[in-house]
């Protein structure tokens, strides 16, 4: 494709991204101007320095998520940064056709996985049972789109990654710094969360941090798995540093990340992080060419690895973790029961065994067929002024919205509700709550007087003690208003929710649900009903044997790419001419130094595999996106370099004097 064709195609891609961005900004539930301003600044900076998408995208994917405030579940703020990146780069630095997929085995591995995973998504979207009217995103067929979105985003970004590597040869290095920045930002969020709730140095509380990982509202250890995935890149950046003070500067994020990982109190995350770091270090020491390691890199190994591993060992010896390790046997029995009961939902059909039951189908199969605990469901019924919310009491489910209030103000709550049975009870709570843990709750349970009929409620709720700790005039702890069904096996409906202060100020947004579920979100206390807590079993269940094999091959290809890069195959350097005894001048294949980020990719794959033993990590779109980004990096580094540093070179560049007519060099060029 010529320059004109690339410009036209790039303009079309940018136009599509612009339309999607405008629609997202128009539908954004929060004030959109701050976000729009940040995106505009990012677009301008990216136009000036195109490589920055390699830093910004892996940084915002784990660290930017306001869904507990917006109520969005299918998309988020990080997706908008991806759209800006694609739109700007499509015009500013468009890739060529050769950049669409890695060449050779790497491209084949990625293509096979994308096809098999896409088939599983289609099965989940169009096949099997469905609950299309549910307001719960996990119980609808389009849950498959939510789960396939991370792979789609990385496939769209892949040509730009490959183009950067082919032309400049520095893709992996910048991506490593982006991964390190993302982990550091998440660590800062953990520090702020700990300061607001249990305290920075309270290691006896069972408080589990979540930072910006809103996907943990139905359980899961996503934040610990993310740290395990990202930590090897911190080591890779240290190993790639050419100045000693860069390694010293990395101590600050290393300390913050070690602290944040420690206070996850996740046994699997501890093990996966340690194994991932050691695996990355071993890969670097074992695979790098001899003599490639300087004083800075030897210093970085000790400076970064030892404190992190020492901090994990110290955290593991705390009273809290000793108790958790002592519960390992009983917890393993619970996991085994979860695996057995979950697999019993599989229909055993040969086609489904090969291709899976479909992405995102497990929660709704659990709702319809599980003999024990089942997911909670909620729905919006009606339209306009007559729209109302129903909550089915199956497992504990809290439907809430973050609010802003001044401490000590009396609150007036008014709404109408309807119960399906005499024993149905509607619950109301206003608590200091980020995601999983509630504190200083105010509220009450309301029994039905006339089941089956709408009943009006007007109650006063004191707010004394809520939001007492202030920072810059705002409560240090988020405050959430929530409704719930307090009686399992019944259904309650809520209509026209209104929460006002004594001054008449309305605190709830979209309390009549005219804008759907905007600003509302939910949490669920029964974490085992939503998944089998094992990545590999969930892959077999939802993507089948072919999906599991394709995923293993994807991981193996990433490891191969990382090993190739560590051996010196992943970064461009200028070609060195050599002259044979016959006098013919030939161009040697460009030499390349060992790439430490290749070792980080190897360690990240090991850490992700370990983390997946006791959790389903691909259910969290942003964790999945970071994982697929690492895979794209490893597969891009796999293979011989072409003229500009990537792809396959069948005929090296000629070197030596060139004829005046611009033809073949005076010395005969030999390809090898």
Confidence of residue 666 (pLDDT cuts 50, 70, 90): very low
Distance from C-alpha of 594 to C-alpha of 262, rounded to nearest angstrom: 32
**From the CB of residue 162, how many other CB atoms can be counted at a distance below 10 Å?**
26
Distance from C-alpha of 388 to C-alpha of 454, rounded to nearest angstrom: 11
Query: For the purposes of burial, counting CB atoms within 10 Å of the CB of 245, is it exposed (0-12), middle (13-18) or buried (19 or more)?
Result: exposed
**From the CB of residue 127, how many other CB atoms can be counted at a distance below 10 Å?**
16
Distance from C-alpha of 189 to C-alpha of 191, rounded to nearest angstrom: 5
Convert the pLDDT of each residue in 511-550 to its tens digit.
Answer: 999 999 999 999 988 888 899 999 999 999 999 999 999 9
Convert the pLDDT of each residue in 313-332 to its tens digit.
Answer: 878 777 778 888 888 888 89
pLDDT at 603 exceeding the cut of 70: yes
> What pLDDT is stored for residue 244 in this prediction?
63
* Residue spans per domain, the chain: 1-94, 377-525
CA distances from 432 to 381, 429, 469, 499 (A): 30, 10, 11, 16
> What pLDDT is stored for residue 660 in this prediction?
40
Q: What is the pTM of this model?
A: 0.90
What is the 3-state secondary structure of 56-106?
HHHHHHHHCCCHHHHCCCCCCHHHHHHHHHHHHHHHHCCCCHHHCCCCCHH
Confidence of residue 433 (pLDDT cuts 50, 70, 90): very high
Superfamily of domain 377-525: Galactose-binding domain-like (2.60.120.260)
């Amino acid at each position: 494709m010529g320059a004109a064709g690339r410009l036209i195609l790039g303009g079309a891609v940018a136009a599509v991204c612009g339309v999607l961005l405008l629609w997202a900004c128009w539908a954004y539930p929060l004030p959109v101007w701050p976000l729009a301003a940040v995106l505009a600044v990012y677009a301008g900076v990216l136009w000036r320095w195109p490589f920055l998408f390699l830093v910004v995208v892996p940084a915002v994917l784990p660290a930017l998520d306001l869904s507990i405030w917006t109520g969005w579940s299918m998309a988020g703020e990080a997706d908008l940064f991806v759209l800006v990146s694609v739109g700007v780069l499509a015009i500013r630095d468009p890739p060529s056709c050769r950049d669409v997929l890695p060449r050779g085995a790497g491209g084949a591995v990625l293509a096979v996985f994308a096809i098999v995973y896409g088939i599983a998504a289609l099965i989940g979207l169009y096949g099997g049972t469905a609950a299309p009217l549910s307001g719960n995103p996990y119980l609808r067929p389009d849950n498959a789109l939510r789960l396939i979105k991370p792979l789609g985003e990385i496939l769209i970004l892949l040509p730009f990654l490959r183009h950067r590597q082919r032309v400049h040869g520095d893709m992996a290095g910048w991506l490593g710094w982006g991964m390190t920045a993302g982990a550091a930002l998440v660590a800062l969020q953990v520090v702020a969360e700990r300061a607001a709730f249990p305290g920075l140095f309270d290691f006896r509380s069972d408080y589990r941090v979540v930072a910006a990982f809103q996907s943990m509202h139905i359980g899961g250890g996503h934040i610990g798995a993310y740290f395990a995935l990202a930590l090897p890149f911190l080591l890779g950046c240290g190993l790639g540093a050419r100045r000693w003070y860069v390694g010293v500067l990395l101590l600050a994020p290393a300390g913050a990340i070690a602290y944040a990982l420690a206070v996850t109190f996740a046994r699997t995350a501890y093990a996966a992080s340690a194994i991932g770091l050691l695996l990355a270090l071993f890969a670097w020491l074992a695979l790098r060419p001899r003599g490639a390691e300087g004083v800075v890199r030897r210093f970085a190994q000790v400076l970064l690895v030892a404190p992190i591993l020492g901090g994990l060992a110290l955290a593991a010896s705390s009273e809290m973790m000793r108790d958790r390790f002592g519960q390992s046997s009983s917890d393993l029995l619970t996991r085994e029961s979860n695996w057995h009961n979950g697999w019993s939902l599989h229909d055993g059909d040969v086609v489904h065994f090969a291709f899976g039951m479909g992405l995102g189908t497990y929660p709704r199969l659990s709702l319809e067929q599980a003999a024990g605990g089942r997911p909670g469901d909620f729905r919006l019924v009606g339209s306009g002024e007559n729209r109302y919310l129903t909550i089915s009491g199956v497992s504990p489910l809290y439907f809430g919205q973050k609010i802003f209030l001044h401490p000590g103000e009396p609150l007036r709550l008014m709404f109408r509700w309807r119960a399906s049975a005499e024993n149905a009870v509607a619950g109301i709570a206003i608590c200091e709550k980020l995601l999983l843990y509630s504190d200083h709750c105010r509220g009450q349970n309301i029994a039905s007087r006339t089941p089956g009929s709408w009943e009006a409620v007007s109650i006063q709720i004191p707010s004394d003690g809520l939001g007492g700790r202030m920072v810059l005039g705002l409560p240090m702890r988020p405050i959430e208003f929530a409704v719930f069904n307090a009686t399992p096996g019944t259904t309650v409906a809520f209509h026209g929710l209104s929460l006002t202060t004594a001054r008449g100020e309305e605190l709830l947004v979209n309390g009549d649900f005219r804008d759907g579920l905007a600003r509302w979100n939910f949490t669920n206390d029964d974490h085992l009903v939503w998944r089998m807590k094992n990545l590999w079993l969930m892959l077999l269940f939802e993507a089948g044997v072919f999906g599991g094999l394709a995923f293993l091959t994807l991981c193996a290809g990433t490891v191969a790419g990382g090993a190739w890069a560590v051996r010196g195959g992943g970064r461009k350097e200028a070609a060195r001419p050599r002259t044979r005894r016959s006098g013919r001048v030939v161009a040697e294949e460009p030499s390349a130094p060992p790439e430490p980020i290749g070792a980080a990719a190897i360690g990240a794959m090991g850490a992700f595999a370990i983390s997946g033993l006791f959790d389903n990590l691909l259910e969290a779109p942003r964790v999945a996106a970071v994982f697929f980004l690492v895979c794209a990096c490893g597969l891009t580094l796999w293979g011989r370099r072409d003229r500009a540093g990537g792809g396959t070179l069948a005929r090296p560049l000629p070197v030596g004097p060139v004829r005046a007519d611009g033809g073949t060099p005076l010395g005969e060029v030999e390809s090898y």
